[in-house]
Structure 1
């Protein structure tokens, strides 16, 4: 069965470039990003891993742990890590899981209609409650946008703590939307500085805490 938003992210044990982990223990109390790669020494993945390594301070600022996954042996990861550092200018600084295929199957990362052996480029964002908050899948030919992953995490963390939603193309610091479940009377208490009502159901307010 596919994993859907709101499902508990399946737990697993794995060998990684930073030692053995149990997924739920490793991410305990943190947000997490788990993203898969078709296999080692693939050109698009090399660029993705290098860029994600450069973004590590941004993930840490948000309390997010990042894990990559490739269906390849641990000893093969070492040589690929050297290639990533030499070609992308950033050393691998987060765990890269050596999967025997079991985790890829557990997370439904292998789609027979695309390829019956290689993982698609899956991204899972998991909350501190270990629930899946976001799931994105890319074709093997298209590199992922990790700036977008950070943007969505900003939205997820904001909306988890305030009764707001984020509009199209929203970025941290921009105005947000008061959710319909909050009445105008409740909104007066939550947002005493007021809001702009474009429609009764579309109430624009400054981002809380911005």
Structure 2
């Protein structure tokens, strides 16, 4: 579904994975979810990304986010590759990754979800899967999508930061400004009147004076 937009219900699907047959919506349950795709097994950038994702799995769990990866190769390849990823992490404490990897060796999901990178191809000339990130809310709606080319690795610390913002702003009538980190001041959303803001945010609201005289930069401590 190349036209998947923010707020759309994320398509449900069934697929084979490293933990058996998975139905996406059932797997996510009432949790948040993050689905990240990879161009190919046994490739360098993907190995570093999944290694980092594995190291951060406890951070995602703490936020009630279920992780799931997708790559174009078979389950058998995924299982073999997982051993390399754990070795890259120097992790001998377990023999499996803390999240499933979906097998999409027929590229059916990559096509359905608009994941193909037309500029990067495998040895057979087939388009590789781009590095997609989809964050899915408990309501199964798409909350965020980021599309990286196959040659650029993701920053998983940034993905955690974005999830913190999504979860905060889903519950509170605030927005997070540039480079926001948890604990920083947040911004009052424009559709709140000053009186409503004063009532909702007892810690106080500060407004930055601007040449226009407009009072739209309103800050409050993170609720």
TM class by smaller structure? over 0.9
The residue that corresponds to 1:165 in the other structure is 175
- Structure 2, unaligned runs of 5 or more: 210-214
Match of 1:76 in 2: 77
* C-alpha deviation, 1:79, in angstroms: 1.1
The answer to whether the aligner puts 1:86 opposite 2:91 as a matched pair is: no
Aligned to 2:112: 106
Return the TM-score normalized by structure 2: 0.90
Post-superposition offset of 1:185:
0.8
1:47 aligned counterpart, secondary structure: helix
Q: Distance in 1 between matches of 2:6 and 2:119?
A: 22
Query: 2:165 aligns to what?
Result: 155
Instruction: List alignment gaps of at least 5 residues for structure 1.
Output: none
User: Aligned partners of 1:114, 1:179: CA distance in 2, in Å?
Assistant: 40
Partner Cα separation in structure 2 for residue 10 and residue 77 of structure 1? 23
Alignment of 1:59-208 (within 5 A): 59-90=60-91, 91-99=96-104, 100-115=106-121, 116-199=126-209, 200-208=215-223
CA contact (8 A) 2:117 2:149 kept: no
Calculate the aligned-residue CA RMSD, in Å: 1.2
Pairs aligned (count): 208
Determine the C-alpha separation between the residues in 2 that align with 1:144 and 1:72. 20
Which structure 1 residue ranges, 4+ long, deviate > 3 Å from structure 2? 113-116
* Contact 2:119 2:127 survives alignment (8 Å): no
Alignment partners' CA distance in 2, 1:140 and 1:111: 7
Deviation string, structure 1 residues 102-140 (Cα, Å, up to 9, x no partner): 111111001334445210111100111111111111111
Q: Distance in 2 between matches of 1:87 and 1:155?
A: 30
Q: Tell me the secondary structure at the aligned position of residue 190 of structure 2.
A: coil
